[in-house]
Chains A and B, each alone.
Chain A
Amino acid sequence: MKVTLKVWRQKDAKTKGAFATYPLDHVSTDMSFLEMLDVLNSSLIQKGEDPIHFDHDCREGICGMCSLYINGRPHGPLQTTVCQLHMRTFHDGETITIEPWRAKAFPVIKDLVVDRSAFDRIQQSGGYVSVNTGGVPDANAIPIPKKIADEAFDAATCIGCGACVAACKNASAMLFVSAKVSQFALLPQGKPERKERVEKMVAQMDAEGFGSCTNTKACEAECPKGISVTNIARMNREYFAASLSSYEVPLKGSGD
Chain B
Amino acid sequence: MNWFIKLLSSTLGRKLLMAFTGLFLILFLVVHLIGNLQLLKDDGGQAFNIYAQFMTSNPLIKAVSYGNYFFILLHIGLAIGLNRKNRAARGPESYAVSSGKSSHWTSRNMGILGTFILIFLVIHLKGFWYEMHWGGIATANYDGKEVKDLYAVVKEAYSQIWYVLVYVISMLLLAFHLWHGFSSAFQSLGLNHLKYNPVISFVGKAFAIIVPALFALIPIWMFLY
Contact = CB atoms under 8 A, between A and B. Distances in A.
Interface residues of B, number: 44
Nearest to B14: A212
A71 B98 CA distance: 7
Given A169-B86, A236-B190, A99 B184 contact: no
A72 interface: yes
B85 A212 contact: yes
Nearest to B84: A211
Contacts of B190: 233-238, 240
A72 B97 CA distance: 5
B132 interface: no
A206 B103 contact: no
Residue from A213, A234, A246 with most neighbouring chain B CB atoms (10 Å): A213
A216 B187 contact: no
Interface stretch (A35-43, A58-66, A103-111): A103-111
B157 to A, nearest CB: 35
B12 A202 contact: yes
Interface in B161-194: 180, 183-184, 187-192, 194
A229 B102 CA distance: 13
Given A73-B101, A218-B103, A99 B12 contact: no
A202 B95 CA distance: 26
A221 B102 contact: yes
B107 A215 contact: yes
Given A99-B96, A206-B11, A233-B192, A215 B102 contact: no
B107 A217 contact: yes
B191 A233 contact: yes
Interface stretch (B2-10, B24-32, B56-64, B142-150): B2-10
A171 interface: yes
Counting chain A CB atoms within 10 Å of each CB, which of B4, B82, B98 scores highest? B98
A187 interface: no
B126 interface: no
Given A99-B97, A233-B192, A215 B187 contact: yes
B86 A216 contact: no
Contact of B12 (A73, A171, A214, A236): A236
B89 A210 contact: yes
A214 to B, nearest CB: 6
A69 interface: yes
Interface string B87-126: 0111111111111011110011010000000000000000
Interface in A226-256: 229-230, 232-240, 243-244, 246, 248, 251
Interface string A83-121: 000000000000001010011111110000000000000
B15 interface: yes
B86 A214 contact: yes
Nearest to A8: B96
Contacts of A248: 2-3
B208 interface: no
Contacts of B92: 104
Contacts of B85: 170, 211-212
Nearest to A213: B15
B37 to A, nearest CB: 31
B218 interface: no
A72 B103 contact: no
B16 interface: yes
- In order of increasing CB-CB distance, the 9 nearest A-B pairs are A233-B192, A237-B190, A211-B89, A72-B99, A236-B190, A170-B86, A221-B102, A212-B11, A104-B91
Given A104-B88, A215-B184, A233-B192, 9 more contacts: A103-B91, A171-B89, A172-B89, A212-B15, A215-B188, A230-B192, A240-B13, A240-B16, A243-B4
16 contacts: A17-B93, A19-B96, A69-B95, A99-B95, A104-B92, A203-B10, A210-B89, A211-B89, A212-B15, A214-B184, A230-B194, A233-B190, A234-B192, A237-B190, A240-B16, A243-B3
